[in-house]
Amino acid sequence: MKYYLTSNRINMVLIGMLLLLGIGSFAYNQHLIDQMLRQESTSVELWAKAIEYASNPVQEEISRKLLMAANELEDNPTVSDSLVAMIEEAESDRTSQNFVVQEILLNERRANVPTIIVDQDGEIILQNNVDRELNQELINEFAAMHPPIEIRLGDDSYYQMQYVYYGESPTVQLLRYFPYIQLSLLALLLGIAYVSYRTITKSEQSNLWVGMTKEAAHQLGTPLSSLYGWIELLREEKKDDEFTQKICGELENDISRLKGVAERFNKIGSEPALELQRIEPILDQVISYMERRLPQLGKDVEVRRSIETHVKVRLNSELFQWSFENLIKNAMDAINTSKEDSYVAIRVHQIENDLIIDVEDSGNGIEKQYHTEIFKPGYSTKKRGWGLGLSLTKRIIEDYHKGKIFVLRSEPGVGTTMRIVLKMEDKG
């Protein structure tokens, strides 16, 4: 049990690290987006101011007057050539400034931010890098992203207002999706790694199961053969002793059962032979055997049975008996006989094409967080338990018989109901 608690903690740590990585990636990505948005806003504002500057008639008037002054001064012999040169240099600087405005600031190819310019009546007069239909809905969408930038065209005596609405560049839009793409790829890689790890672990566990069970069958086989010989020898020596003969019979029954256990172990790992047969005789045999064991367990437990169907399913009787016996034994072990009503109830019924076997007990119950953990190898609440019974049962039911086994319901202090589901082939 401690092993699986540790395993769960490791899983939680890994999930936590993934979440932290995702949060960190999202936060850093948002920081980059904010920086780019500030830069784009600055660029659009500069672009708008350049339009305002280039459209101002005052600038053209100044340029015209400078040229006129330079021409008149050239014709005046009293004016020094250096003054004329200074005026011409000033005009040249203004021409260079206009080049900067026209070719750099106003060059649409240098900007990738979608922008729309509207006049004071709301009519669209210019768009830049907009690949969607130009309409009021798009303008409202841009306005929700950024407040519009005002452009004042004209001088103080007469001017018109225009407004620049702008959105986000394709780079920013791509960056918004990047964390989700990154996390999806990371989750995919982690998923592949987890599935690979689970597959390898399951294969190793399967090989370990096969090795352990076959070795157990081998180790049990030799002394069992020897015990049969000793029983026969004891019978021959005490032919007339009725009590001894009775003991020998009981010993032989127990040894036969041990031999059956060894054969069960030997079948684990190999493909079992499944035969179409009725299930109630197999269940009755196991229930009767466990009822006989109750006095030895020192428990006063009522065994209730309710078999409402008589159908045939494909089973390996020995392996299925083993799995069902494990369920009954676990149910009996979980019961505290200090309760007034101590019972184990076996119910068999049919739902459509499924055969349902429920094993209910009035025991200690199982907390919900352990409903799946109890089927894992090594999980046990007993001080000396190996934690292999339910794991072996699950392997027999699901891997060999292609059925299902799970905790149907359980409540601590009230009891547990385990359910087996098998597919039927014939309602014979």
Which CATH number is 321's domain given? 3.30.565.10
Task: Please indicate, yes or no, if residue 77 is contained in any of the structural domains.
Answer: no
Task: Judge if 255 and 291 occupy the same domain.
Answer: no
Task: Judge if 317 and 380 occupy the same domain.
Answer: yes
Nearest to 162 by CA among 59, 51, 46: 51
Kindly tell me the burial class for residue 277, based on how many C-beta atoms sit within 10 Å of its own C-beta (0-12, 13-18, 19 or more). middle
Give the burial string for 401-426 (b: 16+ CB within 10 Å, else e).
bebebebbbbeeeebbbbbbbbebee
Rg (CA), the chain: 44
Q: Is the dihedral of CA 351, 353, 359, 365 positive or negative?
A: negative
Task: Judge if 219 and 362 occupy the same domain.
Answer: no
Is residue 285 within 8 Å of 252, Cβ to Cβ? no
Parallel/antiparallel/unpaired status of strands 343-351 and 302-307: parallel
CA distance 262 to 354: 31
Task: Judge if 307 and 350 occupy the same domain.
Answer: yes
Task: Judge if 241 and 320 occupy the same domain.
Answer: no
Task: Please indicate, yes or no, if residue 159 is contained in any of the structural domains.
Answer: no
Task: Please indicate, yes or no, if residue 40 is contained in any of the structural domains.
Answer: no
Output the tens digit of pLDDT for each of the chain's 428 residues: 445 555 667 777 777 887 888 788 888 888 888 888 888 888 888 878 777 776 665 555 555 555 566 565 556 665 555 555 665 555 555 555 554 445 544 455 445 888 888 888 888 887 877 878 888 888 888 888 889 988 887 666 667 888 889 888 888 888 888 888 888 888 888 888 878 877 887 777 777 766 777 777 667 777 777 888 888 888 888 888 888 888 888 888 888 878 777 777 776 666 778 889 888 888 988 888 888 777 665 667 888 888 877 788 999 888 898 899 989 988 888 887 666 778 899 999 998 889 999 999 988 888 888 888 888 777 777 666 666 788 888 988 998 889 999 999 998 888 999 999 998 875 54
Nearest to 399 by CA among 273, 277, 271: 271
Amino acid at 26: F
pTM of the entire structure?
A: 0.52
Kindly tell me the burial class for residue 26, based on how many C-beta atoms sit within 10 Å of its own C-beta (0-12, 13-18, 19 or more). middle
Task: Judge if 261 and 276 occupy the same domain.
Answer: no
CA distance 330 to 366: 12
CA distance 396 to 364: 25
Task: Please indicate, yes or no, if residue 345 is contained in any of the structural domains.
Answer: yes
Task: Please indicate, yes or no, if residue 106 is contained in any of the structural domains.
Answer: no
Helix, strand, coil shares, percent, the chain, to 5: 60, 15, 25
Range of 213's domain?
196-265
**Phi, psi (degrees; rounded to nearest 5) at 352:** 55, -120
Amino acid at 394: K
Task: Judge if 286 and 419 occupy the same domain.
Answer: yes
Task: Judge if 236 and 322 occupy the same domain.
Answer: no
CA distance 212 to 266: 10
CA distance 52 to 161: 10
What is the separation of C-alpha 249 from the centre of its chain, rounded to a whole number of angstroms?
Answer: 57
Which of 211, 243, 265 terminates a domain? The answer is 265
Nearest to 365 by CA among 299, 412, 405: 412
Per the structure, the count of domains in the chain is 2
The whole-number pLDDT of residue 338 equals 67
Task: Please indicate, yes or no, if residue 346 is contained in any of the structural domains.
Answer: yes
Task: Judge if 255 and 279 occupy the same domain.
Answer: no
Task: Please indicate, yes or no, if residue 170 is contained in any of the structural domains.
Answer: no
